[in-house]
Amino acid sequence: MAKAKVLLVDDERDFTSALSERLELRDIDVFTADNGMDALKLAETNRFDAVILDLQMPGMDGIETLKHLLTGDEDQQVIILTGHGTISKGIEAIKAGATEFFEKPVDIQTLTQKIGDAATQRMVLMEERSAQAIDDILKNKGW
């Protein structure tokens, strides 16, 4: 089975560096970005099973980055991992399309499990879309 591939977006570089090492030790491929713009660039050229995203970052904030990520790929699974864990922010993130919302620090086992769930969910969504696309072709162009 292929390794899960995640994008970790946070402006706290020592945090992304330590967490990515820990995830890599758990057989997860990790890319990192310290701002929203760089995250979007990476997401344009890579297919990530999950994006782990902070909310408070310089420039483009987490909610805005989340919205752009989902505009580019509506199946993208985004896990919010933030120190700014207010209920209103959580609701705002989930409403904007995030799949999970965690307050820092998060237990590594929990995060690894959620990355696995996100990868499975993404695969299911993609398969459903493929099946739908084939169905549409058969219905509309099956002459």
Partner 1 sequence: MDQYEKTLEQRRRTDLSFFGRIMANVSHEFNNVITVIGELSGLLQDLAVLAERGRPIQPEKLQKVTENITRHVARGKELISNMNRFSHSVDEPLADFDLRDTVRNMEILTHRLVERRQATLDYRQPEEELRMLADPFAVRHALFTCLEIGMGASSSTPALSIELRPGEKETDILLSSDAAGNAIDEGESWRLLLSTVKDLLGGRAALEKGENGFMIRITIPTKTENA
Where on the chain is the footprint of partner 1 (CB under 8 A)? 11-12, 14-15, 18-19, 21-22, 25, 56-59, 83-84, 104-105, 108
| DSSP letter (8 states) at residue 26 | T
Nearer to partner 1, 12 or 117 (CB): 12
Judged by beta carbon, residue 81 or residue 98, the one nearer partner 1 is: 81
Q: Which residues neighbour 69 within 8 Å (Cβ) at sequence distance 6 or greater?
A: 39, 40, 43, 51, 53, 76, 78
- Record the tokens describing residue 87, joined without a space: 């209920």
Cβ nearer to partner 1, comparing 35 with 121: 35
C-alpha distance from residue 116 to each of 8, 10, 24, 111 (Å): 15, 20, 13, 9
CB of 51 to partner 1, least distance (A): 18
Burial string for 11-27 (b: 16+ CB within 10 Å, else e) reads eeeebbeebbeebeeee
Q: Minimal distance in Å, beta carbon 10 to partner 1?
A: 9
Tokens of 98: 């995030």
Which of residues 67 and 84 has its CB atom nearest to partner 1 in the complex?
Answer: 84
The least CB distance from residue 101 to partner 1, in Å, is: 15
CB of 124 to partner 1, least distance (A): 30
